[in-house]
Amino acid sequence: MESNDRLILKVKEALPKDVGRGVVRIDPDDIRYLGLEIGAIVEIEGKRKTPGKIMPCYADERGKSIIQMDGILRENAQIGLDEKVNIHKTDYKPANKILLTSLTSSSPLQKSKDTQYICSLIEGFPVSAGDRIRATLFGAKFYDYKVINTNPAGVVVINPATIITIESKSAAEPDRIKISYEDIGGLSNQIQRIREMIELPLKYPQVFERLGVDAPKGVFLYGPPGTGKTLIARAVANETEAYFTHISGPEIMGKFYGESEERLRRVFEDAQRHAPAIIFIDEIDAIAPKREDMGGEKQVERRVVAQLLSLLDGLESRGQIIVIGATNIPNTIDPALRRPGRFDREISIPIPDKNGRLEILLIHTRGMPLSKDVNLEKLAEITHGFVGADLQSLAREAAMRALRNILPKIDFEMSDIPYETLMTLEVTMDDFLEAMKDVEPSAIREVFVEVPDVKWGDVGGLDFIKEELKEAIEWPLKYSDVFKKLETNPSKGILLYGAPGTGKTLLAKAAANESGVNFISVKGPALVSKYIGESERAIREIFKIAKQAAPTILFLDEVDSLMPQRGIVSNGAHVSERMISQFLAEMDGIEELKGVVVLAATNRVDLIDPALLRKGRFDLLLELPKPDEKAREKIFNIHTRNKPLANDVDMKKIIKQTEGKVGSDIAFICRKASMLAIREYIEKQKDSHASQESSEITESSDTAQTGYRFSISKKHFEAALLL
């Protein structure tokens, strides 16, 4: 601190919701120290001066002498993260006129008639000549502009009366949209580790010289598609102001001898000339697969791997050139690349958890006019398995649904949508929930199963079984803190067994629907292959997908056909034994892969290999008995609740007559009785020469046209019981 009119503070990242708003956050005590009020305009002085609107930071950031600024303000002040800036109160005036130039050639908002809309997006922003400002449009789409000059000169605040003029961007100028760390959600730990490995060597190479160690050469990022690997690399390059070269693995490959190696050498030579530099190799598995897995026809790939190893070992500007590799299949990369001294650190970019999903949703909805009923916390809870790209797609689809609501108000003969119509656009919670029906998690897209709309109430009886399933599946999700506190792990596997038709599959559907987790259904024949090792690989892949999309229910119907007892099967015995061994290995591995519940169903528990049934694999064995009288009454109520029953139907008598029947038998009886009633109705229509085949079935039309009231009577049930 210097005096009461100035403060020196350390720069930290902004909150996702503050990006592009011209807001800086500091400690409320610092605001009082400067003699300012919330919302006051301050000047931030780094290598350059820029204005910002002051707001208080949240409680966990207080007392640290920090200022939270987004990447745009950091660029305007020409300052980096963890560097120090000088802030002080400044004078400002309302902006009469400002001249902007677009930094993106694709910006749709470049015409004079768009200025009213742009003004509404950037109203209240403090700016000065030379600053970059961002207009965040509907959704997460944004366009950046540079302030060429202002009237009056100096610091001005944009207001509704400001006249905005936009200069078109020259097509020859490259786009200058920059990604900052605030544009990445749910990966704060990974970003911190990457900054340690990349920013320190690029900015402060002398630190490593003092420590007497070599700076890292490479960082290897791996994780499912859509988690943000490429985005992280671009953000790091922007924040370090390093020269950035992006190459996709397949682009390196050439058809002529030595061409692929030459292209790779040129990339590294270019980076050497422009050091400090970052070389980002996307889909590195395409150019550096395991050499031992290559046949004689893969000589090009062998040479490319050898060339890449040579280039990594030969990097002279140690610490001034960093190579970042990214892939979603890390196990296919040549092991020689993955040793220290080449790719020094491997960082997993996982599927985001609930808090990560909330951060990503905040980023992708920060420019959206959200309705008051939108609950992003709830959306984060129910979007299990969604990666950043999926959540971006979800936000875009919700916005498109909101757009459809105003389509009737748009006159398509007009060249532009009226400003007033644009201002009525609003995205509701229903838009998001409807969009979720069209956007499924990319991690399980290939095995995605549409969960039927089955609820616990659609399963008659079995109250004890339903409670056990709720405790095993729903409780670990809803009360995870309690499980952690008591150091208790939920069940790994649940086996439902009982006579055919008792409701095993129906219970699995209800459990998946009610818990709201991802549901993967596995059918035995789909896993069996005639090629050695393929069946085991299919089992590994299913568990891998379930782990990535956790929390997940992995449902194995008729598990006895998949996992029969070893030693008693003759045909295909070796395949079955290998599949069982692989399955047992995966089940034992679930302890570290939290969030996966294996739910299996069978009517022949005696045929299942005993090794599966021990504690620690299938912990919970639930037998589904044949329904008693009370349970049969509930099942009949479910299957007849929307059916017109005649007064002569005695349900209590029918329930007693169905002793020994299971749920599927009762469903068949109700369906058959309905079909008999329909047949009788149609025959009576024909006899009375009543009108059309398509006439609507209502009580009034039935009685008026045929003298026959449509209903299911006692005789229909009696006939159905005899079948």
pLDDT digits (tens, 9 = 90+) for 146-164: 888 888 888 898 888 888 8
Say how far apart CA 196 and CA 235 lie, in whole Å. 14
Position 25 scores a pLDDT of: 92
ω before 551 within 30° of 0 (cis)?
A: yes
| Full DSSP string of 243-279 | EEEEEEHHHH--SSTTHHHHHHHHHHHHHHHT-SEEE
Report the chain's terminal Cα–Cα distance, integer Å: 91
| pLDDT tens by residue, 606-659 | 888 888 888 778 888 888 888 888 888 888 888 888 888 888 888 888 888 888
Say how far apart CA 510 and CA 468 lie, in whole Å. 13
Where are the alpha helices (H) located in 316-387, listed in sequence order? Answer: 354-364, 376-382
Residues in the chain, how many?
723
The residue assigned the tokens 């200069």 is 167
Q: Which residues pair with 596 in a beta bridge?
A: 552
What's the one-letter identity of residue 494? I
- Rounded average pLDDT over 524-541: 76
Say how far apart CA 712 and CA 673 lie, in whole Å. 7
In angstroms, the Cα distances linking 299 to 175, 251, 304, 555, 582 are 39, 17, 9, 43, 34
Summary mean pLDDT of the chain? 80
- Of 390, 366, 362, 387, nearest to 376 by C-alpha is 362
Say how far apart CA 526 and CA 518 lie, in whole Å. 20
Say how far apart CA 662 and CA 422 lie, in whole Å. 58
Say how far apart CA 357 and CA 394 lie, in whole Å. 12
Position 3 scores a pLDDT of: 46
- Rounded average pLDDT over 495-506: 85
CA–centroid distance for 41 within its chain: 37
Tell me if residue 398 falls in helix, strand or coil.
helix
CB atoms within 10 A of CB 414: 9
| pLDDT tens by residue, 76-87 | 888 888 888 999
Q: Between 358 and 299, name the one with better pLDDT.
A: 358
Q: Between 241 and 356, name the one with better pLDDT.
A: 356
89-103 burial, b for 16+ CB within 10 Å, e for fewer?
A: ebebeebeebbbbbb
Contact residues for 442 (Cβ-Cβ < 8 A; gap 6+): 224, 225, 226, 387, 389, 390
- Rounded to two decimals, the pTM is 0.71
